[in-house]
Amino acid sequence: MVIQPKIRGFICTNAHPVGCAENVRQQISYVKQQGPVADGPKNVLVIGASTGYGLASRITAAFGSGAKTLGIFFEKAPTESKTGSAGWYNTAAFEQAAEAEGLWNKHLNGDAFTDELKAEAINLIRSEMGKIDLVVYSLAAPRRKDPVSGDVYSSVLKPIGQAYTAKNLNTTKREIEEVSVEPANDDEIFNTVKVMGGEDWERWLDQLHAAGVLAENCQTVAYTYIGKKLTWPIYGKATIGRAKEDLDRAAGAIRNKLSDVKANAYVASLKALVTQASSAIPIMPLYISLLYRVMKQQGSHEGCIEQINGLFRQGLYSNTPILDDAGRLRMDGKELADDVQDKVAALWDQVTTDTIDSLTDYHGYHTEFLHLFGFGFDGVDYDADVTPLVPLANLAN
């Protein structure tokens, strides 16, 4: 079939297998150009491994450290008439590249929140990998079923305390408009923390530890975004921010419970980027479009792979990691620099629908959005007839 993007609101409902492969190829090439990660990991579990920062983590571990990698994700397989999800095709491309270099890799496709999938992962680790020395937690999901109570919790994207009204870039209409969001109630805050907080990360580490499959001096990291003044009302000081604060609690709990294997648990704060998750958050498309313009002009812009490559080399596997007062690894310093934020704020005040092209990097934002689904890459023939049926040979379930 000829596959062209089908965009609905803030998501694309299809994906291009050849374009996704090009996306993965470019990230692998970047990591290999940086040389080996000194004293990097050897056995890595990536929970949320098929897109964005999770995919970049798996690529960096495998092609920067030669690590065995087990990837956990929840992706849609292709059929003869419908494409698979981008994460499916990303994983297929990763698999093919890893196989070509003799790198052990397997995947589990399913709900990472369930104890059943955790047990599958533990059995696979025990039988084929050896002890895990790095666990990356990079899940983004709208809902979660509690494995103990069976209750289903749904997250919301709302401010806390008072309603919030601000400019927004409507990417469907390509217009600057005003968006208003009512404040979350206590139940909505609680539910969002249950879905997006640290409870499941902690549960993964509890069960891996109980099974005896964690190496001594192992590390685990969960990803967050902190931001600054412009994004605080809807991100930092909001339901998402409250959930992300719970990651700090979980990191401390994990360190305490895994002290016998001398484990370390970090929360890593990363840069705002175009992801499937960030595209759904009010104001973030406009903020990111402005941020890209400023940082590209300064020469300081980085994408997922640059951020994660830096996290491995300057954070997780560095003797002098960049830590804040809360003990978080910080890779967002360039974004949050005062001069960058001041320029973004000034443009924020000025931008209108008529000045989107001149004051923002909307083109860069939209291009990266398309890249998430394998579209918009130079050198890929999007008029060609391609098969959507790309297998995952190393799918273990």
Catalytic positions are 235
Cα(52)–Cα(275) distance, integer angstroms: 6
Closest C-alpha among 204, 85, 225 to residue 157? 225
Neighbours of 366 (CB within 10 A): 17
Distance of CA 94 to the CA centre of its chain: 16
Closest C-alpha among 208, 284, 206 to residue 240? 284
Question: 272: Cβ–Cβ under 8 A, 6 or more apart, which residues?
Answer: 225, 227, 231, 278, 284, 287, 288, 291, 332, 335
Strand 43-47 versus strand 132-137 pairing type:
parallel
Cα(49)–Cα(112) distance, integer angstroms: 11
Cα(289)–Cα(364) distance, integer angstroms: 7
Question: Looking at this protein, which amino acid is placed at residue 101?
Answer: E
